[in-house]
Amino acid sequence: MTLPHRPRDVSLPLKQAASTQHCSHLIILLAMAKALQRAVDSFRVHPAALGATVFLALVLQTYLPVRLPSARLFDFPLLVAIYIAIVRRNKILAIAICTAIGLLQDALASGLIGLFGMAKALTGYLAASASVKFELEDLFPRLGLTSSLVLIHGFTLALLHRVLLDPPPPFQFLDFAASVLVNTGFGMVLFLLLDRLRKQ
Chain segment 160-178, per-residue pLDDT in tens: 999 988 788 888 889 999 9
Greater confidence (46 vs 82) lies with 82
**60 shares its domain with 75:** yes
Q: What angle do CA 183, 63, 55 make, to 5 degrees?
A: 70
- Between these two residues, 21 and 192, which has the higher pLDDT value? 192
CATH number of the domain to which 110 belongs: 1.10.1760
Q: What pTM, to 2 d.p., does this model score?
A: 0.76
**4 pLDDT exceeds 70?**
no
Range of 15-19, 21-25, 55-59 with top mean pLDDT: 55-59
Percentage of residues in the chain with pLDDT exceeding 90?
54
Pick 138 or 144 by higher pLDDT.
144
User: How many domains, the chain?
Assistant: 2
Shared domain for 73 and 142, answered yes or no, is yes
Q: What is the CA radius of gyration of the chain?
A: 25
Q: Beta-carbon neighbour count of residue 64 at 10 Å?
A: 15
State how far the alpha carbon of 181 is from the alpha carbons of 38, 59, 72, 83, 148, in Å: 30, 22, 13, 17, 11
Choose between 87 and 44: higher pLDDT: 87
Residue 200 lies in a domain: no
Q: What is the pLDDT of residue 139?
A: 86
Residue 88, pLDDT score? 85
Output 114 or 35, whichever has higher pLDDT.
Answer: 114
- Both 140 and 168 in one domain: the answer is yes
